[in-house]
Amino acid sequence: MAENIKKDSMRKLTKRMIIGFFCLGLLTANEIKADIYHYKELLVGDRGANLAGAYSAVADDASGAYYNPAGLVYGAKQSMVGISNATNFVYNDYQKSVGNESQLMEGWRYLINFAGYMKRVGDSVIGISYVIDDSTELHQDQEFDNNVVINRRSDDRTYKYGPTYATFLTEKLSWGITMYAYQRQYDSQLNRLTNTGDASADWRFDNTRGDEFGLHFRTGFMYAPADEWSLALVLKRTFLSHSAEEVQVNEKDSSDTKITYSTDTTNNYRKMPLEITFGWAWFPSAYTMVTSDIDYYLLNEDDRINVLNISFGVEHFLNEQNVIRAGVFTNFDSREEPDSSTTNAEKIDMYGLSLGYSIFNGPTMITVGAVGGYGRGKIQSDPDNPTKVHDSIRETYSFSLAVSYNLDN
């Protein structure tokens, strides 16, 4: 009896810790950073992230609200909670973009990138979650041989949070929908000085800040014709209700001693892409799972191109308590390739790998994982020659720790 009381106390303590962690995630959601030109910047959840994002045809834990809400009906019998956090690193190298020297930018950020709760109500499931699937912060402080000094800060923040509903349409077909509130805030500062040591110095300071608000919808279907197979279709779209950007420029030309100042405010609404995901999962045995997602992003902007990303993942149970996962994915850029007809353009297509390990302890699963991305591309980043195209390299790394808890027990 004493042993049962002890176990019950440990379960209650674990639940309280996870719920506290969930609340902490909601309170820290405004620290998020983003990159709007790549769509797989920060993989979400524990299993989903370890499988390189190839999770739409599984999606049977709390993170299914993000990957495919239709998968939630295959999850816990009563309820489940999941939390994941990550430390994200970004490194950019713009080669020979200032004379023969490279511009180097880097940044890192710790964040709680997913917290979610799901509960079964009859044959349906309801849930709530918040997600950070895109996060980038960069800084640069360099002095070059040609007396050019560049100081740069960029900080792009976005987050989504909201409810989910899922249910069975037939015995083998399920449907679900997630409605997220969407918010993005961003700002950047670029200071560039040609230091001549006297009044002829050339100087420019750009300050940009903006925000967006709207709703983000995800609706999906999952079809499981047999125990060994499942198929998924997910549609996603953001609808903006507010968009504003303010640009300030302070500038002093080398031929003048006066500093000029200008400011401009715009309300241009970005045309957000329609995202279409097709996924499949194969279970060749009780211990192994193979999954893949094909993500197509349909854009409707003159300077953007449609993007097709592919992810592939494998999960294998070493025994009842230990699981390993791995995956590969693409993270292509939606911008056009820089050429002689463009100015200040950039395009870097990324390729990534994921690896993770989970251990089960009763109803609790603890997961550690790592994701790495690498890409080479082109950029126009020289203010003195904005049409000149340079080589560029981008690297991203994230390390995650996640906990999920099955509240059935």
Q: What are 390's strand-pairing partners?
A: 379
- The tens digit of pLDDT for each residue in 202-224 reads 889 999 999 999 999 999 999 99
Q: Comparing 221-235, 322-336, 371-385, 392-406, which segment has the lowest mean pLDDT? A: 371-385
299 pLDDT higher than 60: yes
As a whole number of Å, the end-to-end CA separation of the chain is 17
The residue-averaged pLDDT of 278-298 equals 97
Contact predicate 350/38, CB 8 Å = yes
Q: Check residue 159 and give its pLDDT.
A: 87
Candidate from 31-35, 265-269, 363-367, 382-386 with smallest mean pLDDT: 31-35
Residues 6+ apart with CB under 8 A from 317: 286, 287, 288, 323
Q: Which of 236, 204, 200 is nearest to 220 (CA)?
A: 236
Residue 93 has a pLDDT of 95
Q: Is the pTM value of this prediction over 0.85?
A: yes
Confidence of residue 21 (pLDDT cuts 50, 70, 90): very low
Q: Which residues pair with 372 in a beta bridge?
A: 353, 397
Per the CB < 8 A criterion, the answer to whether 72 and 58 are in contact is no
Nearest to 43 by CA among 53, 35, 34: 53
CA distance 96 to 389: 10
The CATH class given to the 2-142+150-176+283-406 domain equals mainly beta
384 pLDDT tier (thresholds 50, 70, 90): confident
Out of 24-28, 36-40, 143-147, 371-375, the most confident range is 371-375
Distance CA(39)–CA(34), nearest Å, equals: 10
Return the SS3 of 6.
Answer: helix
Which of 32-36, 80-84, 273-277 shows the lowest mean pLDDT across its residues? 32-36
- How far is 390 from 379, CA to CA, in rounded Å? 5
Burial 22-54 (b: 16+ CB within 10 A, else e): beebeebbebbbbbbebbbbbbbbbbbbbbbbb
Res. 165 pLDDT band, cuts 50 70 90: very high
Q: Which residue in the block uniquely carries the two structure tokens 């790998």? A: 353
Which of 188, 196, 224 lies closest to 35, judged by CA? Answer: 188
Is 70 exceeded by the pLDDT of residue 82?
yes
pLDDT of 89 over the 50 cut: yes
Q: Give yes or no for a contact between 194 and 148, defined as CB atoms under 8 angstroms apart.
A: yes
What pLDDT is recorded for position 199?
61
What pLDDT does residue 13 have?
A: 44
Q: Which spans in 51-189 are helix H?
A: 64-67
User: Residue 285 — pLDDT band, cuts 50, 70, 90?
Assistant: very high
How far is Cα of residue 386 from the mean position of the Cα atoms in its chain? Answer: 30
Average pLDDT over residues 312-331: 97
Report whether pLDDT(319) > 50.
yes
Please report where in the chains the tokens 């509130």 appear, as a residue.
181
φ, ψ for residue 356, nearest 5 deg: -155, 160
Residue range 37-65: average pLDDT? 94
Mean pLDDT of the region 280-300: 96
Q: What average pLDDT does this structure show over 24-44?
A: 61
Rg of the chain on CA atoms, in Å = 24
Mean pLDDT computed over every residue of the chain: 88
DSSP string, 255-278: T-SPPEEEEEEE-PPP-PPEEEEE
pLDDT at 4 exceeding the cut of 50: no
Map tokens 């989504």 to a residue.
160
pLDDT-derived band of residue 17, with 50, 70 and 90 as boundaries?
A: very low
SS3 99: coil
Sign of CA dihedral 337, 339, 341, 344: positive
Query: Could you report the per-residue pLDDT of 227-277, keeping only the tens digit for each?
Result: 999 999 999 999 999 999 999 999 988 777 788 999 999 998 998 999 999
Instruction: Break the chain into its structural domains and give their ranges.
Output: 2-142+150-176+283-406
pLDDT category at 15 given cuts 50, 70, 90 is very low
- Choose the weakest-confidence range: 95-99, 287-291, 370-374: 95-99
Residue 198 has a pLDDT of 65
